[in-house]
Amino acid sequence: MGRQLQGSERRPVAGARAVGPADPTELIEITVRVRGARAVDLVTHRTFGRPMTHDEIEEHFGASAEDLAKVEEFAHARGFGIATSSAAERRVVVSGPAGALAEAFGIKLERFRGPRGDYRGRTGAVQIPEELEGVVTGVFGFDDRPQASPHLRRVKTLTPRTVGRLSPVEVARLYHFPDVDAHGQTIALIELGGGYRSNDIAGYFRRLGVRPPKIVTVSVDGGKNHPSSPNSADAEVALDIEVAGAAAPGAKIVVYFAPNTDRGFLDALTTAIHDRTHKPSVVSISWGSPECRWTQQAMDAFDEACQTAALLGVTVCAAAGDAGSADMQSTDPDFDDRAHVDFPASSPHVLACGGTRLDATDGSIKAESVWNDGPDSATGGGVSDVFPLPLWQADAKVPCSANPDRRVGRGVPDVAGNADPESGYEVRVDGVDTSIGGTSAVAPLWAGFIALVNQKLGRPIGFVNPLLYKLKSGFRDVSTGDNGHYSACHGWDPCTGLGSPDLGLAGLLIGALTVAQAA
């Protein structure tokens, strides 16, 4: 057996205990991630010029045929099957009995029982066989614990504080979204559970007076559109579709359904980014979890995928979380009263979307503040424990982490929008009309905004973060409130980032891109 795969170490879910060995005869699939022909360097490969094509990405940054062949030969020699192999996505999906696959990668698989449910899992690191040393950068799929949570919050009861539910169309108007038809754009949604009903979507958009979007579903790793009840993940799927479709009328929506595991999440993202059929220009992610619950190999793989998205001209939007600066419920077994940021929002190559409370009357914004209904229902945000401060945040005055180490890292979020469930979005899920908030709504809202900018520009704007931080206007500066460890202030802050969209933001972005292209 070769060396340990650095960054692959796993610990049991907090509060879980091993209850016996995993079934060695269970047929499973694992995703073996392979090194790229060269590393993506966004400094050298400018993202403001012509987006690269899928063929160019595969040629310059994909896995080599030789490396893919080594993984396939390794699998065949041990009697395993190959489900798929992709140079562009740098992955080989290997299938076989769980016991034999585990032995091949030097791990012990057990069944665990805990407060978040039962799961098949491993502890320690993955071992890379000698013949694959230096070739394999990640192995996913042995551990099927739930990796992420949907970032939504429901309105509980109407109170005197409730300012009124809003439709996504009303929110887009309040934020001065461009008045264009996004018929040439495709928005990708990543969903790790739940489903939607077509009659709900049709009825919802009919009531809004907006043409319903064309919706396509893509199955990843066996995930599928599986609606059940309003209290399930269906609420997340409906919220994402209805907000994105209403904010960017005319855009096509492609929903990538995958299992809620690190493998399913990663495969859904890379499938969307490299989808040559639907070619989304924006990806919206409303699922995530604190950085401390991820392996380093997973975060590295996600970030590499988002860098590739930047070169393809694809913008990735992600929710910043709904449990304040702790990014986990106070009742969670691993709650430690430290500040955490949510991943994948903390990836430097993602547009991280935080949440506000919006008070609007007569078609205009009366007030906007940080969304905070308490420690378990507030916008995420803070300073990354994993990713360093990116160059484009150098002048944003990102503070040191609130944790004792006082780390200076990637600041989250970048932007914000209406998220408080009490000023939340009217949605329909499984035949029920309700109001839902959370940063889950802000990611598809911003994805819709980016799609409209793309349509107006006539090309995808792509990796938008460096451009946004150069703007001197175009945002509503949300400077009141806090999310626990961090407080809002004038300018960028770890609660609402640069702020919510304001009049002229689309034009300023287009102008900034034009200047960047000419430089």
Catalytic residues: 236, 240, 440
- Cα 485 to Cα 403: distance, rounded to the nearest angstrom: 9
Nearest to 63 by CA among 32, 90, 39, 83: 90
Instruction: Give, in order, the Cα–Cα distances in Å from 354 to each of 201, 283, 457, 492.
Output: 26, 16, 25, 12
SS3 for 257? Answer: strand
Residue type, 371: W
Query: Rg of the chain over CA atoms, in angstroms?
Result: 22
Beta-bridged to residue 113, according to DSSP, are: 17
Closest by CA to 261, choosing from 165, 146, 364, is 146
For the beta carbon of residue 424, count every other beta carbon within 10 angstroms: 29
The CA-CA-CA angle for residues 27, 28, 30, to 5°, reads 150
Structure tokens at 145: 């614990």
Q: In the chain, count of helices (H) and strands (E)? A: 11, 25
Buried residues in 213-238 as b, exposed as e (16+ CB within 10 A):
bebebbebbebebebeebebbbbbbb
Q: Is the dihedral of CA 55, 56, 57, 60 positive or negative?
A: positive
> For residues 344 and 362, is the Cβ–Cβ distance under 8 A?
no
User: Contact 19/121 with Cβ under 8 angstroms?
Assistant: no
Tokens of 476: 């509503």
- Residue 372: which of 432, 420, 440 has the closest Cα? 420
Specify the DSSP class assigned to residue 325. Answer: G
CA 489/CA 397 separation, integer angstroms: 11
Question: What's the rounded Cα separation, in Å, for the pair 507 and 453?
Answer: 8
How many Å apart are CA 396 and CA 409, to the nearest integer?
A: 12
Q: For residue 251, which of 318, 189, 329, 295 has the smallest C-alpha distance?
A: 189
Q: What is the dihedral of CA 310, 316, 322, 324, to 10 degrees?
A: 20
Pull the structure tokens for residue 472.
């001197």
SS3 sequence, 452-472? HHHHHHCCCCCCCHHHHHHCC
Distance in Å from the first CA to the final CA of the chain: 51
Q: d(Cα 190, Cα 460) in Å, to the nearest integer?
A: 19
Residue 450: both structure tokens together: 């980016």
